[in-house]
Amino acid sequence: MIDVPLHWVWLIEAAAARKGAPPPEDWMTLVLTKSGVCLWLLFACSIVGVAVILMKAVALRGGKILPRSLGEQFLQLAQQRDVQGIGELCQRFEHIPVARVTYAGLEVASSGVDVVEKEMSDTARYELIERTSYLAVLGVLSYVATLVGLLGTVTGMINAFRNIHMQGTTSTEFVAAGVYESLLNTAEGLLIAILFYLAFHFFRARANIIANEFDEYITRFVKALFHIQPAGGGVER
């Protein structure tokens, strides 16, 4: 009789078990079939979040808000005190925020430096508020996705313990479905929350950069228009 080492017996049995087992599921099938009802809540959050990200990606393009070349033209005309030329340029590019900000200052140019600067700053602030609208939705969704993932974790564990209770056994065959659901919802919720959290802070930082660029442009325009000192430097980094 041939003596087979114990560890070889274990390996043979494991190989035989794997041979008769069904092939492993791919990640997409696993997510769609094992995540439970919370998957659809996370899916709804994802649709809304992606829509907001696309909107803000278009709305916060610096080159479409404060183009360098157009800003330089306004500054050159301001140095020449060419009010008519500034007005015509503003009307030609009225679809661009920097032109609307400049025109707001031009309308009150006779009221003095402080009034012009305030009017331009207020208009620039309004333009940025309009372009950052719904940005807070990303912050809310990142929080909601975390909570929905946690809810899925809880419901998955409830299903696991319910299976244990109904089957009267702790066999992994009956518990695995609940554990699958629990861990998948945790991972999905955290992944979505992280992505939206990063997107929220990216766009907020972008809006702050544009606000600083507007402040620099307004200061230079006012100084050039009223000949307080020669304007220098670039409009946009």
Lowest mean pLDDT among 25-39, 86-100, 121-135: 25-39
Q: Is residue 185 part of a domain?
A: yes
Residue 16 — pLDDT band, cuts 50, 70, 90? very low
Per-residue pLDDT for 19 more than 50?
no
Domain count, the chain: 1
More confident residue, 62 or 86: 86
Mean pLDDT of the chain: 81
Residue 34: name the closest of 185, 193, 186, 189 by CA: 185
Q: Is residue 167 part of a domain?
A: yes
Task: Tell me what pLDDT residue 151 has.
Answer: 87
Q: What is the pLDDT of residues 68-78, one digit of tens each?
A: 999 999 999 99
Could you give the CA distance from residue 63 to residue 26 in angstroms, rounded to a whole number? Answer: 43
Task: Tell me what pLDDT residue 175 has.
Answer: 67
The residue whose two tokens read 């140019």 is: 109
Q: What is the pLDDT of residues 196-234, one digit of tens each?
A: 999 999 999 999 999 999 999 999 999 999 887 554 444
Q: Is residue 6 part of a domain?
A: no
Lowest mean pLDDT among 5-14, 79-88, 151-160: 5-14
Could you give the CA distance from residue 189 to residue 102 in angstroms, rounded to a whole number? Answer: 45
> Each residue of 97-131: b (16+ CB within 10 Å) or e?
bbbbbbbbbbeebeeeeeebbebbbebbeebbeeb
Residue 39 — pLDDT band, cuts 50, 70, 90? confident
> What angle do helix axes 113-131 and 172-225 make, rounded to 10 degrees?
160
Q: What is the pLDDT of residues 116-148, one digit of tens each?
A: 999 999 999 999 999 998 999 999 999 999 998
Instruction: For residue 106, give both structure tokens.
Output: 């031009």
Q: Is residue 180 part of a domain?
A: yes
Instruction: For residue 102, give both structure tokens.
Output: 């400049």
Q: Is residue 23 part of a domain?
A: no
Instruction: For residue 54, give both structure tokens.
Output: 């696309």
For 161, the domain range is 37-53+65-225
In terms of Cβ atoms closer than 10 Å to its own Cβ (0-12, 13-18, 19+), residue 37 is: exposed
Task: Tell me what pLDDT residue 179 has.
Answer: 72
More confident residue, 2 or 229: 229
